Structure 1
């Protein structure tokens, strides 16, 4: 992740390179969680960075960090649209940090639902967290130079996901080179993303799922691929 010029950000690289193992790991998790907000053009607040630093330093637990972020926005007055963006970035960052630290994984479409619900419950109001969309959408994507993408029909989302998951679950990686493995994994993840099962939050949900899936396969992943 490129180093930001924001003066209150943590120097994650210093934590990762110079700290004890537990601090290194927490630094990596926070770096990924915060970095993934960039896929939707969001930047966390100064308070989130301060809270992340306290967690990395061992001063507070991740659960206490979540509570501090929630309380911070509950008590905030005279809100602006910028505050709404900061709240989304802060809350989703701390939730990603929590999920990525958990040593659990289930290779099913239901995990996508679970991740989406945990990331966006109480954050999104126009769409329901943890539910597949029930309407068809198409959007112009900046990653495709503004070209439109047509996603899966709403009434076929679960069936399409189930097909892709079933195919991936039985796929044999044993005879592939590393490059071939990576190419296949990239195709699988691209298929999941193009289904776009949720009204909002697809990229971050898919990214978190991807990191956990790759970790389960023995890969070490940060936010840079995203």
Structure 2
């Protein structure tokens, strides 16, 4: 049986609650984004891009919590190297190379205020369709195993978060990921 990311998070928080019952929740309150993103990085792998899950950021957080260390916790440290490619200027020709301006979906997920469950759903959908393929509610229902109303709410949420955009020419209710 595979343990989901939500189950891992629940388990970790329960262990922490019992281990550090004497401590305050201040570190969680001050670093909630960091903790959430550290959990994401601990569970994210993209073999095609050479990205492997890593617990290093979660370990830093836990060292601060359990060992009273004072490591700095910065979300920017968790960005996947090479995923935030920017346009490069060729100094000799002063031409802009626009091939590497694509932003990795993981960076987009880190910037948006998504629950872990929603982020996992977005990953599944992105793995299936990527940036170029068009999808609709029925595809979301199949890929993520949601009911009709849940798929509609999910799509609406992604449009509001500026992760996907409606496309025309493919029928009503069709979307694709924004680059």
Give the TM-score normalised by the residue count of structure 2: 0.37
- Say which structure is richer in helix: 1
Counting strand residues as a fraction of each chain, which structure ranks higher? Answer: 2
Question: Which of the two has higher C-alpha Rg?
Answer: 2
| TM superposition score normalised by structure 1 | 0.31
